[in-house]
Each structure stands twice: as C-alpha cells, then as structure tokens.
Amino acid sequence: MKSQDAYDIVIAGGGIAGSLFAGVMARAGVGVFLIEKEARFRDRIRGESIFPWGVAEVMRLGVREVFDRAGAVEIVGLRSFEDRQPADPYYWAPDSIDSLPMLGFEHPRLQEAAIAWAAEQGATVARPAKVTDIDRDGQHQTARIQSRDEQMTTRARLIVGADGKTGASRRWTGGSSRSDPKHHLLGGVLVGGIDWPERFVDMVSNPGRVNYWFPVSTDRTRIFLALTPEQHAETAIASSFERFMALVGEEASADRFAMVEQAGPLGFFPNQCTWATQLAGPGVVLIGDAAGSLDPTQGHGTSHLMRDIRVLSDMLTTESHWPRALEIYARQRQETYDVLRAFDRWMVAMRPATGDEAARLREGHLRAIDADPALGGWRMLSSRGPDGLRADEASRRHFFGDAR
C-alpha cells in the first residue's frame, strides 16, 4: 500500500461542498487533499438553486466566480400561478441581503467548476478515488484511499466528510444517521425550450401537489413535481417524460411548455430530512449533506452548505485549537439545521399535505400572515436566512396562528 505525504486536511467527497471548502482552505495556505469518487459528474436532479441568503454566503467566501464559470444565472424573484396564469411576482431585491438575487445552476457544471477551482487554489485532487476508512493515531488521522489502480494511505490533522447523506463519513464521527418519515416523492427533469425574458422561480402549490420550475442556465430549465406515493404509482409518471409534462402543464399556461424538450434524465426520490447524530469527532467533521440534508421541497440545501463552508473555514483559519473550532462549528451548524428542518416540516404539513389537519394549518397560517406579514422573520427566510429564528414551540404556534 502506497503512503502519501501528510496533509492538514483530507476531504472525502469532491462535490460542491467538498470542492469549494477545499479551495477556500487551500487559498488560505492550508494543505488540502481532496478525494472524489466520480470520474465524471452526472445529473443529480436536485440542488440546483441557491437562495439570496446563500448567495450572501457565496459573496462572503469570495467564490462567486466559480458559479459564473459554471454558467449560473440570476433569478430575480418568485412567481405563483393562479388559474393557469402567473400572479404578480415577488422580487427578492427589496428584502434580500445586499439586494442579492437567487442563483440557478446546473449541478454537474458547478461540481466540475468547483473541483477545478480547488485545484487552482492549490488543493491536491485524487479522482476517481474514494476514502474507504480512517484510523486514528494521537493527533493525526490516517485515511485509507482506493483509486482505480492502487490503494494508498495519507495522514491528516483533520478529515472532512463531504460525501453526501449516504456516504460513509457519518459513522466516522462516532454517530449514526437519522431521518424523518418519508411523505412525498419529488420528481425532476432538465429541459430546454422555455423562454425566460425575466427569470423567476415559477410555482403552483395546491393540496396534494406542488410543482415549480426555474432556469439553471441561459438555455436550460429544471422542473420539479411533488406527488404523494399514491399519485406517483397511479400516474406511472416516472417512466414517461410526456406524462410528467402533461401533469405539470395542467396548472400552468399551455404556451409555457409548448416547445419543451427533454435535456436530462427524469427521476423521483423521497422527500425527507436526514442527518448525522454527531457532526464532529476527534479529528473528523462533516459538512453539507453528510452533516444533514434537508427536504428538497423547500430548496435550502445549497444555501446551507455555503453557510457550512463559511463558518467552518472561518473557525479553522482563526482558531489555532482545531478541536475547539470543530465544537463551535458543530453547535452553530446544528442550530441552523434545526431552524431549516422546522421550516421544511411546517411547510409540507400545509402543502402538499391533504386532509382536515392540513386545511386547519393553512387557515391558521393565513391568519398569522394577516396579523404579522413577516411572521417574525419566517416569511423572509429565503431572502434573509435563518439567523435570529428559533425552532421552538412558540415559533411554531406563531407560524400557524396558534393552530393546533
């Protein structure tokens, strides 16, 4: 087994979270070894937007150029459809941090741009390769790495797990994985042929179904559709682009999708939050979906991973005692995740949920908005972020107008 030089940080996973973190730390003069298992990134059918509060993190990190390289486009606001026609839009700029827009991007293009940028900043990159296990030895950890042709080991002061919610790193901290119950299935497909004179997230949200679409490049759009498992089975939609588009088009203007052409795979996956019970252990820390993934219906996952990168990189470059830095990061990360998870759960309890309880919650939520249009900051979450919000019973009752 070949032994590599020692590094300050070994990162398991070269997706968006791992690569951007690698580049930020390498830019600061830290020795980084980035390990990515995929030789070529594929369409993820998720994680292709970043809300204005996440764009604020992008700007603080100084990585906007990576998004530009990937062909990201600015999305100016949110627009709902009523009676198959768009209602008056909500624009991010008046409320968002520094009047920043939302960004849409193609996931594989951003992954490629990020891993190339990390190498340019001085990170060593191994690809395709995979961290198969780690061993601890005093102040250092040893990562075991499998590439196509050989096995190798390398020592590091810190190992960062950025290998997603199904990766191995969640057990390296000494914890385990937990998940909320599955409730809906979210399907997505990449298309061409939608003209965007002004770029919005377009949304139709009704009991039992939610669908939305937004630009991810100058000529591509991502369409998502949330269905109950029963609807998914009844429509046999997963195997037919035509059936998928027919269902999406039922509640939007017909000309919107008249020229649509499929540009990527069609796929469905369960909606749920899933998280690691322990975010940091001796010489190991988790970021992005490895630390905790959010229900993709609300779309805050990429914004949250940018917060991870900023907080953890700030702590490691300003705090010489890295165990203390990891402890502070883990505590802050958990607090933010709890807020975003609560928002996910509250929103899906109203739509696409159905039944008397969902109707009661929707009515209470509308009463709460009448009394407090900002809902104590919860309605500004996409623009301003989770700071100042608390995932407690008082907040839940305020969100639902005291609805039980």
Q: For the chain, give every domain's residue range.
A: 2-70+105-180+273-337, 185-270, 355-399
Position 83 pLDDT exceeds 80:
no
- pLDDT reported for residue 387: 96
Residues paired with 212 in a beta bridge: 203, 224
Position 70 pLDDT exceeds 60:
yes
Burial 212-228 (b: 16+ CB within 10 A, else e): bbbbbbeebbbbbbbbb
**Averaged confidence pLDDT in the chain:** 93
pLDDT tens string 94-106:
999 999 999 999 9
Higher-pLDDT residue of 17 and 269 is 17
Pure H helices in 121-236: 229-235
Higher-pLDDT residue of 177 and 44 is 177
- pLDDT reported for residue 5: 77
Position 345 pLDDT exceeds 60:
yes
Q: Which CATH number applies to 185-270: 3.30.9, 3.90.550, 3.30.310, 1.20.120? A: 3.30.9
pLDDT tens string 2-18:
656 799 999 999 999 99
Percent of the chain with pLDDT over 70: 98
Percent of the chain with pLDDT over 90: 78
Which CB contacts under 8 angstroms, 24+ apart, belong to 138-147? 139/283, 140/6, 140/283, 141/10, 141/283, 141/284, 143/10, 143/12, 143/33, 143/35, 145/4, 145/35
Of the listed ranges 15-19, 134-138, 211-215, 285-289, the one predicted with least confidence: 134-138
Answer whether 288's CB lies under 8 Å from 50's CB: no
Q: Please tell me whether the peptide bond between 207 and the residue prior to it is cis, using omega within 30 degrees of 0.
A: no
* Strand ranges (E), 13-51: 32-35, 49-50
pLDDT tens string 291-342:
999 998 899 999 999 999 999 999 999 999 999 999 999 999 999 999 999 9
User: What is the mean pLDDT of the segment spanning 137-144?
Assistant: 84
Residues paired with 322 in a beta bridge: none
- At the topology level, CATH places domain 2-70+105-180+273-337 in FAD/NAD(P)-binding domain (3.50.50)
- pLDDT reported for residue 189: 96
**Model confidence band, residue 404 (pLDDT cutoffs 50, 70, 90):** low
Residues in the chain: 404
Burial 182-200 (b: 16+ CB within 10 A, else e): ebbbbbbbbbeebebeebb
Q: Which amino acid is at 207?
A: P
- pLDDT reported for residue 4: 65
Residues 6+ apart with CB under 8 A from 35: 10, 11, 12, 13, 14, 126, 127, 129, 130, 131, 143, 145
- pLDDT reported for residue 1: 47
